[in-house]
Structures are given as C-alpha cells and as structure tokens.
Structure 1
Amino acid sequence: MFQSLPLYIGLRYIRAKRRNHFISFISAVSMIGLTLGVAVLIIVLSVMNGFDRELRTRILGMVPHATISQPGEMTNAEQVRAIALEHPRVLGASAYVQTQGMLVGSRQTKGALLSGIEPSTVSTVSILPNHLLEGDIENLAEGEFNVILGDNLARSIGAYVGDKITVLVPQLSVNIAGIQPRFKRFTVSGIFKVGAEVDQSLAVFNLNDLAKVLQYGNAVDGIQLKVDDLFKARSIAKEAGQSLEGYYRVSDWSVTQGNLFQAIQMEKRMVGLLLFMVIAVAGFNIVSSLVMLVTDKQGEIAVLRTIGATRSQVMGIFIVQGTVIGALGIVVGTLLGILGALTIADIIAWIESAFNIEFLNANVYFISYIPSQLQVGDIYTVSISAFVIAALSTIYPAWRASRISPAEVLRYES
C-alpha cells in the first residue's frame, strides 16, 4: 500500500489547489527562476562560444598557427617548407617576410605590419584569398610591386585600388643625398576585409618584392604553418623541424594572440559563474516554499504517520515535490535556452531593425553581429547542475517534515 506513497502524494500536492496562495506563489517563482536561470545561462554560454569561434576563424585564419625561423634570414626556405609538409599534422606551409613600416597615402601616414607572402601557397595557411573585397591574390605578381590593404587601413590613409602609396621600412639607405629611410612606391591592387583587427593594421605584398625593399636577396624570414590542432601548434612545429640541420626557432599563435583567447575563456567562466547564482537563488526559493508547505501540512503529515507511514516515506513526499518542481523548470528553461541560442542573431537583428539601434558597431568591434554556437556539453552541464541544486534543496525541508511528531501536532487538533 505504501510502496508508491511518496510519489503519489508528492505529485498530488503539486496538482492540488492550495489554500495558502502565498506558498503557491513562492513555488511558481522557484520554477520560473530555474527556467530563466537555465535559459539565460545556455544562451550566454552559446554567445561566448560564438565569439570564441569567430576569433579562431577570423584572427587565427590570418595569423599563422606556427612559424619556423632562423636567427637572421632563412636562405633554404623551399627545403624547410618541403620537410615541414612531410609531417602528417601540418596542413599547409608557406614562406613569409614580415616587418613593421609606414604607409604614406593621400590622406595621412600610418604605421602598419608589412607582410610578404607567396601568392601560390598562401591559401594553404591563410583565409586572406577568401576575404578580398576588391582585386585578386594573383595580382601580387613578382616585380609588379603591388600591395593589398586591409579595408580600414586603406580608408584611413585614403588609398583605393589603382592608387599609388609610398612604403617606408625601418632601414636606412646611404646615397649621394646622405642617409635616408628606405622607401618604395607600390600600387594598391586589392582590398581585404576579415572583420578583425588586421583590417586596420596589415598590408600584404609579394614575398620577393618586399624582400627586395628590405635587401634580403633570396632570403626570407621563415616558414608559416597551418596545423590540425591549434593548441598543439608549437609541439607539432617542433616535430616538423626535428630533421632540419642547424638552429631553428619555433613560435606559435599563443605568443601574439594567447592573451586574447585567455581573456575570452576567463570571461566565459566568470559570466557563467555569475549567472549560475541565479539558479542557486531559485534553489533557495525551493527550500523556502517547501519549508512553508511543511508547516502548512503538519496535520496531514501527522495523520500519515499515525496510519503507518515511515519517516523516510514522509521525506520522499517532499523530495518528490521539490524535485518535480525543479525538473519542470529545468526542462522548460533548457528548451527556451536552445531556442534562444539558435535564434539570438535573428532576434538581435530584428531589434536593431525595428528600433533603429546598433548593438555592435563594426568600426569598434571586430564583428557587427551576435554570434552563437550551441554546444551539447554546455546543455548537459547546465541542466544536470541545476537538477542537482534543485534535488539538494529538498533535503532540509523533507528532513524537517520527517521529524514532525504526530502526538505533538494532533494534541492541539480539535
């Protein structure tokens, strides 16, 4: 008779209309709090995952995963490139020349990162060829002295496709006019836009053209690599260069971009922790609602005890009730969170269009929309953690109910 008593009465208490409307209100608030907490946490974690994905795709699509270089210039670039490509985890390799310099346009002079690339192999290590607004990567033919500029960089110096700009490098030339900075006129042959910081700081040249300006001869700065695992880029590059003779230096993306990704991960953890407090507060609401319910139902509990219900069965009644309340809130919250994570970009776009506002200015942020990437692991983590909190919140009220003495309660019943 009493085997399913906790489940039966616990579910009956949930469905029944209570005389104390305040207790019903607190229970509803607990469920709504769990629903909102779970939904918002899933949506925010998905947005943070989206930003992390965009950073990896855009910034690390332009920045080499790893580089192999030598002190001074590298004169055997083709040999090093061929050996690096023999490693099964190296997806692409391309020689490069890189330095800081100044670009002189019609509007102003601005500092920039000057990068010399091989047009024929750059697509194996960079997303640059896929993000050209104007021009083509093949325009960077050797001897043409062409340059491709980032969109923001081109606009800031007042340069457009077909214009001539002056490129100054941090080296000096000695001639009959004295000591002068080394410079060369280049023609703007393309504009790229990745949607990241490189749009306002990168100028791309043909490898040999930039090497001539720097008087490298046939040498380059090194080989840039693309690997199959970002977080093992350094170790893969070391393995790829083990058979090389002489001294070689290995570097990876974490040297220049590591702090940015660490900041994103730290923000994700901190925002997740803060929003998790919403779920904890909802758990405390479950405690308070069940404690008040226990007080309200003392007479019924005493009657159950007198007809043979054990303390564990009484505990089970309130554990079932609190757990079901929590489970309902978590299920609804999870569904709303999944729906919100999948549609957040469209919702924000509609709000921007309807109210003529802009959440992310493309001139300030590296992307102009809210990205979202829903991960199954986040859904499981949030849902299971919320359920554990809800279940633990029922223990004290249930224990308190089991300690009620029937004799003490029924003594005062008329």
Structure 2
Amino acid sequence: MFKPISLFVGLRYTRARRSNHFISFIALVSIIGLTLGVAVLITVLSVMNGFDRELKNRILGMIPQATVSSTEILPEWRPLVELADKQQHVAGSAPFTQLQGMLTAQGQVAGILVSGIDPKFEKKVSIVQNYMTAGSLDNLKDGEFGIVIGKGMADGLGLQVNDKVTLVLPEASPSPAGVVPRFKRFTVVGIFSIGADVDSMIGYIALNDAAKLLRLPDGAQGVRMKLDDIFAAPEVASKLLNQLPPNYYASNWTETHGNLFSAIQMEKAMVSLLLFLIVLVAAFNIVSSLVMVVTDKKSDIAILRTLGASPATITRIFMVQGVIIGAFGTLAGAALGVLFALSISDLLGWINTTFGLHLFDAYFINYLPSYLRWQDVLTVVSISLLLSFLATIYPARRAAQIQPAEALRYE
C-alpha cells in the first residue's frame, strides 16, 4: 500500500525502539501528562456542570424564580395569576403567602421559612410533589392546619407523618401572663426530600391557614412564577410589575441565590483555566521529546536529505510523530475522563457512605453531581489536539534546517 514518505517514516520513528531510553521516557511522560490533564479537565467540567444543573433544577425548582407581591393581602388573587400566565417565558404561576418562624417538637427547635400555598397551583411552579417521600401536597387543606416539611427538618425534629409540631411566629401577642409569642399546633401531612439544603429550611401550609396565622383575611400576598428561561426572571418580573398598581413590588431568584450561581460559574472558569495550563505543560513536553529525537536522528535526517528529501518532507516527518503522541494522549484522556465523569458521583457516594465521611456537608446539595456534556468533551479534545500540533512546529522546523554535510562530518 502506498504511503507518503513523511507519514511512513514518521510512523516508523514512533514505533521504533530507541537506543536513548531517556528520550522514550520523555515521550511517555508527555503522553501520560496529556492523558491525565485531559481526563481531569473533562471530569472537573462535568462536576461543575452538575452543580450548575442541580442549582437550576432543584434549588430553583423549589424557591420562587420570580415573584410579584402586594403590600396588602389579595382576597382575589386569581386575576393576578391569569395576568402572570400571559407573560412571556412564564411556564406557570401560583399564589403564595410567606412567613418565617420556628418549629418545635420533642424539645427540639429549628428555624423554617413557611409558604402558604394552593396545592393545585403549586404543582405548576414547584418540583416538591415529585420528591415526596411520605404524604402529599394535596393533604394541605384550609382550616385543617397541616404542614409539609423536608426530610432534613423531619429527621432533625424526630417527626413522621401524622405527628404534631408547633409553629412559633416571631410576633408577640399580649396576654394576662404578659407578652408571649404567637404559636399554632400543626399536623405533619407530608415529607419531601430534594437532597439539598432546602430539606431543612422550607415548609408548606395551606394558603388560607397562612393568612389566619398572620391575622389577615383569606387570600395571598402575591404570585410566584416558574420560567422556561431562568435568566429572564428580572425582565419578566419587571414587565409584570409595570402592569400593576403602585402597591406591588417584585423580586427574583438572582437577588436571593444569584451569588451562588455566579460563584459556580467563576469557579468553573478558574478551574478550567488552571487545568488547561496543565494540558499546555503536557503539550510542551512534546516539544522537549521531539527536540531530543531530532538531535538523536541527525544522521538519519542527513541521509534522507542526501537521498532527495526536501525540508518540507523532513518537517512533516517529525510533525507526524508529534501529532501521534498528542492524539494518543488526548484520546486516552478523553476516554478516561468520560469514564470518570459518568461514575464519579456513584464512586464518591459509596466512599462517603462506606467510611462514614461528610465530604459534601459544605455544599448546597448532599452529594457530588456530575453532568457530562459532549460539547465540553469536544472542546477539550479539540484544544488538546491543537496544542499538540502547535508543539510539533518548532522541533520539526529545526529538523528541516539540519545541513547534511554538517550532520555527517563526524559520522
């Protein structure tokens, strides 16, 4: 089979055993460095993508993505819901009333953010119904004073479905015994588990029960919205606010969790930059290995030149050798990185459980997420191959500049 001379000789040089074992060692280090750099970069990018996805799907699936609220209770909140549903990017809307307090049971106390909701509408804007481990949102009925809490809260207070729990509000009420906090007894009618910090922070009660606790008429404080584009939240809230009277105000998730999202994006960018530098260093190892090969093959180059090989042919011979080293290291790293990205969540979860570690306590979710994007794999592989190709240019041009007479003088 016909092969171009540059490809033929380049492949032979790549497979040939060298008398100078140090050169082979440098080439091996180049391949290993490139493999590890690419693998780690793909794995870390997948983990960062996992955190990004979990923030969007879980945290932002629980908290209001955009809200419009009134300074007064809204007895007739349905027209506001209908108006919100007509806005661009709004996938669903629901009424809410929000209050803060403390839950106390069995001598334990924990702070909680309670939302008064209508279960029928809440399912349009929240993922909580999909993560119920006991009970249901439908068990929240006006006047029955039921509460749905997260698994973290339930475990911390030692609660199960049908247990009683007391909600203490920060507002004080005068009584013959003096000023005492306002409190109300609730029954746990549901427990959800999102696998994030919200499991021990958020609770749900019936919409009108929340109004009664605040000593207000039946109704809602405002409307929360679920969006098909979370980054449109400020614009959507602002446009809806412009269609309402002056006693309304708006908020969105960027004001409450925007810093967390920005931190993830910044960490992803900085870690990617640092790991790309590792790939760059590995690519420069190709330069050193090829420079040594050129020095070792001076006589071979001189003979090829005397047989009629052009400087361009010599350049291509060593570029072939460098590109093969780069391609082998890159593809091996890509395969290893994809394998790690697909299995790292289960692997670290098993280590965390088996050895009783607390590896993820510092994060907003209680496990290590990983989300492999093939676009990232393609980008990393392309950049690594490009760096490997660029690393071959200097040694190959140096080889082409060798003069046959000078190289053979002392042979």
Q: Does the 8 Å CA contact 1:351/1:357 hold for their aligned counterparts? A: yes
Distance in 1 of aligned mates of 2:196 and 2:345: 19
CA RMSD of aligned residues (A): 2.4
Distance in 2 of aligned mates of 1:407 and 1:42: 48
> 1:126 is matched with which residue?
126
> 1:20 is matched with which residue?
20
Aligned 1:120-269 pairs, distance under 5 A: 120-269=120-269
User: Are positions 1:47 and 2:57 aligned together?
Assistant: no
Kindly provide the CA deviation profile for residues 156-187 of structure 1, in whole angstroms up to 9, marking residues without a partner as x.
Answer: 23433333322222323345554433222222
Q: Does the 8 Å CA contact 1:171/1:214 hold for their aligned counterparts? A: no
Measure how far apart 1:318 and its partner are: 1.2
- Residues 1:364 and 1:358: Cα distance change in structure 2 (over 3 Å): farther
Distance in 2 of aligned mates of 1:359 and 1:180: 42
> 1:9 is matched with which residue?
9
> 1:401 is matched with which residue?
399
Measure how far apart 1:81 and its partner are: 0.6
Q: Secondary structure at the match of 2:355?
A: coil
Distance in 1 of aligned mates of 2:263 and 2:361: 21
> 1:301 is matched with which residue?
301
Q: TM-score, normalised by structure 1?
A: 0.91
Measure how far apart 1:36 and its partner are: 1.8
Alignment gaps of 5+ in structure 2: none
> 1:370 is matched with which residue?
368
Distance in 1 of aligned mates of 2:132 and 2:361: 18
Q: Secondary structure at the match of 1:143?
A: coil
Distance in 1 of aligned mates of 2:248 and 2:366: 40
Kindly provide the CA deviation profile for residues 232-288 of structure 1, in whole angstroms up to 9, marking residues without a partner as x.
Answer: 122123334543344532221111111112222222222222222321221121111
> 2:33 is matched with which residue?
33
Q: Does the 8 Å CA contact 1:169/1:214 hold for their aligned counterparts? A: no
Distance in 2 of aligned mates of 1:269 and 1:91: 31
Residue type matched to 1:36 in 2?
L
Alignment gaps of 5+ in structure 1: none
> 1:282 is matched with which residue?
282
Residue type matched to 1:228 in 2?
D
Residue type matched to 1:208 in 2?
N
Kindly provide the CA deviation profile for residues 280-328 of structure 1, in whole angstroms up to 9, marking residues without a partner as x.
Answer: 2211211111011111011111222233333232222211210111012
Compare 91-100 and 71-80 and name the one that shifted more. 71-80
Distance in 2 of aligned mates of 1:212 and 1:380: 57
* Alignment length (residue pairs): 410
Compare 271-280 and 33-42 and name the one that shifted more. 271-280
Q: Does the 8 Å CA contact 2:105/2:157 hold for their aligned counterparts? A: yes
Aligned 1:93-132 pairs, distance under 5 A: 93-132=93-132
Q: TM-score, normalised by structure 2?
A: 0.92
Q: Secondary structure at the match of 2:119?
A: coil
Distance in 2 of aligned mates of 1:120 and 1:127: 13
Kindly provide the CA deviation profile for residues 350-402 of structure 1, in whole angstroms up to 9, marking residues without a partner as x.
Answer: 6567xx32555676655454322110111111001111111111122112212
